[in-house]
Amino acid sequence: MFDKLREQWKKATNPFQGFLGELWTVWKHDVARAILLARRSWQSLPADIVQHAATIEAAGRAAQAQRGIDDAVNAQLGILGIAPGAGGGFGAGLGLSPDHALFISIMGSIRAHEGDPPAQPQMALLAPAVLRGQLDPIQAMIQCAPAFTQQQLAVAVQGMQMMGMSQLMKVIAVVQAATALPRDQIAQLLPPDDGAPTP
């Protein structure tokens, strides 16, 4: 279900302009390549993308807090015999598709960290194999988790796959790999004459 919605969102028109718009076009087909292109030319990302990313993150935290409040209110209403959820839920937020929000967040992080966003050291070691298709991105994500949570994460991944969210999980894992790839290895995976967007 979620994968179908995600595919529909991917077909949406390009809301971005300039270099960012070109990166979005690449992102819709190859998330890892778009991230590597952005990291290689991070100075060409608009400076205000950092603020946009911060706004999305703040909205996410606010939505999470609102869900906590809603859950507490619903529990109390249930005790009183009133059907939980009768009062409505959290609004539409910023009105962005999940793909747009993820894209803006990642591009903002790349710009804010001058092309080298924070990454797990273990993923930096596995990233070349993931990005060359030699290692499944989700398996790499599980291997990078702390040892005591790997089994739980594997079960959670299976559950998300059963709910139709396998593509989303794969995208998240690919994002982790592409942002963790050591900068000196970007050129090996992204030659300068690959027809990439120019900043």
- Closest-CA residue to 20 (of 107, 115, 117, 109): 107
For the chain, 199 residues long, give each residue's pLDDT as a single digit of tens: 455 555 555 555 667 888 988 999 999 999 999 999 999 999 999 888 888 888 888 777 777 766 666 666 666 555 555 555 443 332 345 556 778 888 888 999 999 999 999 888 999 999 999 999 999 999 998 898 888 888 888 888 888 888 888 788 888 899 999 999 999 999 999 876 555 555 5
> Residue 154: what pLDDT?
87
> Residue 12: what pLDDT?
57
Q: How do the domains of the chain map onto residue ranges?
A: 13-117, 119-194
